[in-house]
Structure formats: structure tokens, C-alpha cells
């Protein structure tokens, strides 16, 4: 099926969502997503940050859709035309959605461990309003420990359900979930039961904000002061990929996370042994430094950018051979 997004056409398989079609194109036209997670079945449709405008339904029925639609839940039709960043209506709606998400989410980025790798922080920077119009009391919750290594700060939660789907789909049984309804909804465990299965740490990786944090890393450092290195090990757990990112400060491994793709989604889930118990360089086979996007604050102190460029600049043969890398680093 042929779909056109912001003037760029692409052929995709039937059943592909607008969001995934945009991801196949890549770049700025990809709608943001706070709740959708391609590795989790039935995720999406809750945060509404991926709303787009369908200006042409299909070749058979060219009428536009009357309202903005969630791109993660809307499948493409042959001949469909979609507007994302080219639509002022979408940009204005996204600004309102960010304002709604920040009604209860505190702007405590200076003390939040998620700062520097937070989807909501990026979204707020791109689309957030300068002031809030909300004048009522915000929801507040007491921090609780759900397990010995995971802390839940429900005040920051945006109810994306990612952690619930993760526990449902990669563990044998789920202990935590959504309690209550409406504006009283919250993530919690029943009678403060502990989340202690072998894959419980993955709820930290899928959380797009700082609601679920690693207690072994809390307040130890900022991510932009650490050096991410990709590594792997032969894990005994059959469901664990054993491929991780080690976050170094000097010679010390401050934390271990699963590897994530360009959209911040985990490539392979890892077990708690790899995440919490293997924090020595000798435990891992080091593959090399992780590549960090130029726009990310994590790239500020990244050593990949410190290698010299004079040879590339003066040698025309090397310029041609390393053209893509040269252009990328020149822009920095």
C-alpha cells in the first residue's frame, strides 16, 4: 500500500500503522509516542501524543478523516495522505496534550534520574507551553518500593501502561497494575506485594518518564556525565538476550540497561542478574562505545566525538570514503 506522510511517499505492507510507516521513512516526520511500544502487544492509544491529520483517506474514498487520529492505532490505506509536522492543527493539538500530561507530572527534572533520557522532557521542550493554566491541587503520592531494587514515584507517572504490559507479556505472573479509576488511577501493587520476578527490572527501561527508577543508580550521577558502552555475556537465562549497555563513570559501572533503538525501545529484554548483579567489566565482553544521537544531551561529553578530524579534512580520498561521518561531525 502506498501512503504519503508530509509529502514523502512510501510503500508498506497491509496492516501497517501510520506510526510505523513514518518510522520506515524516519527523520522529523515520525510522530512522538509515549505509550506505544513495538515490542509490546496491544500497547498504544493512551497518551495521544502521536495524533496526526489524515487529509486523504484512500484512493477509493479520498475524503479526509473528520478528526485527528492516533497514528499508532490507525492502519494505512492505499493512497492515504497524512500530515504530521506540516499541519498547524497537529502541532497545536500536541501542545495541548503536553500541557495535559504536565498537569500532574512535576517539573522536577533537576533531581529526576530520568533527566537526559526522558521522552516527556524532550516532548515538553519541543511542544510545551511557557506557563501552565492549571490552578488546582495536583495529584501527589508517597514513593514506594516495589521490590528491593525498584522504586515507584507515582507522582511522575503518566499512566502509559507500558510497565503493566511488560509484566504481563514477559513474566510468568504480574503483581502490579492499575488501581482505581479516572483521576484516582495509579500504578501500584496489591497490599504492597513485592515485584520480584527475574525480569522485573525491565519495567524501568520501558517507563518513558521517571516514575520507575533503579534504586541501585538513584542520585549517583547524571547520564550525560557517564560513558555508555555496549557489551554482552552468555546469560544462563533462556529468555535473556545478554546484550546490554554499561554506563561507566571512570572505571566503575554505575548501571546496566537493555539496549535501546533510535525510538527508545528495548531491543531485547534482559534478566535481573545481568541488570543488577553484573556490574564489573570482567563480567562482560566489551563491544565498544554506544553511538549517541547528536541532538541528545548525552552526547555532550561522549568520547566518540573526541577523535581528531584533521586527516579527514585534508585528504580528499578519506573525505569521500568517510563522507557521511565527516558531514555528521562537521555539523557538530
Confidence at residue 315, expressed as pLDDT on a 0 to 100 scale: 42
Q: What is the pLDDT averaged over residues 257-279?
A: 92
Asked whether the predicted pLDDT for residue 314 surpasses 70, the reply is no
Asked whether the predicted pLDDT for residue 320 surpasses 70, the reply is no
Q: What is the pLDDT averaged over residues 129-135?
A: 81
Confidence at residue 126, expressed as pLDDT on a 0 to 100 scale: 86
Confidence at residue 319, expressed as pLDDT on a 0 to 100 scale: 44
* DSSP helix/strand/coil, 55: strand
Closest CA to 24 of 55, 2, 56: 2
Full strand arrangement of the beta sheet holding 69-70: 8-11, 2-5, 80-83, 51-56, 69-70
* DSSP helix/strand/coil, 211: coil
Closest CA to 50 of 22, 27, 25, 77: 22
- Cα separation, 3 vs 13, whole angstroms: 10
Rounded alpha-carbon distances, angstroms, from residue 319 to 52, 197, 307, 313: 40, 51, 15, 7
Confidence at residue 326, expressed as pLDDT on a 0 to 100 scale: 46
Asked whether the predicted pLDDT for residue 92 surpasses 80, the reply is yes
Q: What is the pLDDT averaged over residues 97-113?
A: 89
Closest CA to 236 of 198, 205, 206: 198
**Region of residue 84 (phi > 0: left; psi between -120 and 50: alpha; otherwise: beta):** alpha
Cell of 117: 533520557
**pTM for this model (two decimals):** 0.77
Confidence at residue 97, expressed as pLDDT on a 0 to 100 scale: 93
- Cα separation, 184 vs 182, whole angstroms: 5
Cell of 189: 501493587
Asked whether the predicted pLDDT for residue 275 surpasses 90, the reply is yes
Per the CB < 8 A criterion, the answer to whether 232 and 284 are in contact is yes
Quick: pLDDT tens for 281-312. 999 999 988 888 777 777 776 655 443 333 33
Confidence at residue 301, expressed as pLDDT on a 0 to 100 scale: 63
Binned at pLDDT 50, 70 and 90, residue 130 comes out as: confident
Q: What is the pLDDT averaged over residues 2-9?
A: 94
Closest CA to 92 of 75, 118, 113, 68: 68
Quick: pLDDT tens for 139-172. 888 888 887 888 989 999 999 999 989 988 988 7
* DSSP helix/strand/coil, 246: strand
Confidence at residue 104, expressed as pLDDT on a 0 to 100 scale: 87
Quick: pLDDT tens for 175-233. 777 888 887 788 877 655 566 778 888 999 999 999 999 999 988 988 888 999 999 99
Confidence at residue 290, expressed as pLDDT on a 0 to 100 scale: 87
Q: What is the pLDDT averaged over residues 273-284?
A: 92
Per the CB < 8 A criterion, the answer to whether 176 and 159 are in contact is no
Confidence at residue 241, expressed as pLDDT on a 0 to 100 scale: 84
Rounded alpha-carbon distances, angstroms, from residue 176 to 139, 143, 154, 202: 20, 15, 13, 13
Domains and CATH numbers, the chain: 2-100 (3.10.20.740), 105-130+139-214 (3.30.70.20), 223-297 (no CATH), 302-332 (no CATH)
Confidence at residue 317, expressed as pLDDT on a 0 to 100 scale: 46
Confidence at residue 327, expressed as pLDDT on a 0 to 100 scale: 57
Count of alpha carbons within 13 angstroms of residue 119, beta-carbon side: 24
Helix (H) or strand (E) run with residue 93 in it: helix 88-101
Quick: pLDDT tens for 30-81. 999 999 999 999 899 999 999 999 999 999 999 999 999 999 999 999 999 9
Amino acid at each position: 500500500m502506498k501512503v504519503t506522510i508530509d509529502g514523502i511517499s512510501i510503500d508498506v505492507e497491509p496492516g501497517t500503522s501510520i506510526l510505523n510507516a513514518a518510522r520506515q521513512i524516519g527523520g522529523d516526520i515520525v510522530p512522538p509516542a509515549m505509550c506505544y511500544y513495538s515490542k509490546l502487544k496491544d500497547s498504544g492509544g493512551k497518551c495521544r501524543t502521536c495524533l496526526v491529520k489524515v487529509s486523504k483517506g484512500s484512493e477509493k474514498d479520498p475524503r479526509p478523516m473528520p478528526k485527528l487520529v492516533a497514528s499508532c492505532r490507525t492502519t494505512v490505506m492505499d493512497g492515504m495522505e497524512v500530515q504530521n509536522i506540516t499541519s498547524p492543527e497537529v502541532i497545536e493539538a500536541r501542545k495541548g496534550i503536553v500541557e495535559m500530561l504536565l498537569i500532574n507530572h512535576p517539573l522536577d527534572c533537576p533531581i529526576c534520574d530520568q533527566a537526559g533520557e526522558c521522552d516527556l522532557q524532550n516532548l515538553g521542550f519541543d511542544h510545551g507551553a511557557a506557563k501552565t493554566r492549571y490552578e488546582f491541587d495536583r495529584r501527589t503520592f508517597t514513593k514506594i518500593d516495589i521490590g528491593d531494587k525498584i522504586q515507584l514515584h507515582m507522582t511522575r507517572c503518566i499512566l502509559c501502561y507500558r510497565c503493566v504490559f511488560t509484566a504481563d507479556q514477559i513474566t510468568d505472573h504480574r503483581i502490579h497494575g492499575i488501581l482505581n479509576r479516572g483521576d484516582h488511577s495509579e500504578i501500584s501493587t496489591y497490599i504492597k506485594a513485592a515485584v520480584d520476578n527475574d525480569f522485573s527490572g525491565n519495567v524501568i527501561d520501558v517507563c518513558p518518564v521517571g516514575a520507575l527508577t533503579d534504586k541501585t543508580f538513584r542520585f549517583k550521577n547524571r547520564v550525560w556525565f557517564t560513558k555508555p558502552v555496549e557489551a554482552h555475556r552468555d546469560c544462563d537465562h533462556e529468555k535473556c538476550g545478554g546484550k546490554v549497555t554499561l554506563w561507566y563513570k571512570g572505571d566503575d559501572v554505575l548501571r546496566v540497561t537493555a539496549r535501546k533503538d533510535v525510538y527508545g525501545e528495548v531491543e531485547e529484554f534482559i534478566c535481573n542478574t545481568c541488570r543488577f548483579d553484573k556490574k564489573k567489566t570482567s563480567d562482560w565482553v566489551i563491544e565498544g562505545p554506544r553511538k549517541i544521537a547528536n541532538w541528545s544531551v548525552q552526547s555532550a561529553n561522549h568520547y566518540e566525538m573526541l577523535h581528531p578530524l584533521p586527516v579527514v579534512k585534508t585528504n580528499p580520498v578519506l573525505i569521500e570514503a568517510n563522507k557521511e561521518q565527516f558531514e555528521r561531525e562537521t555539523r557538530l
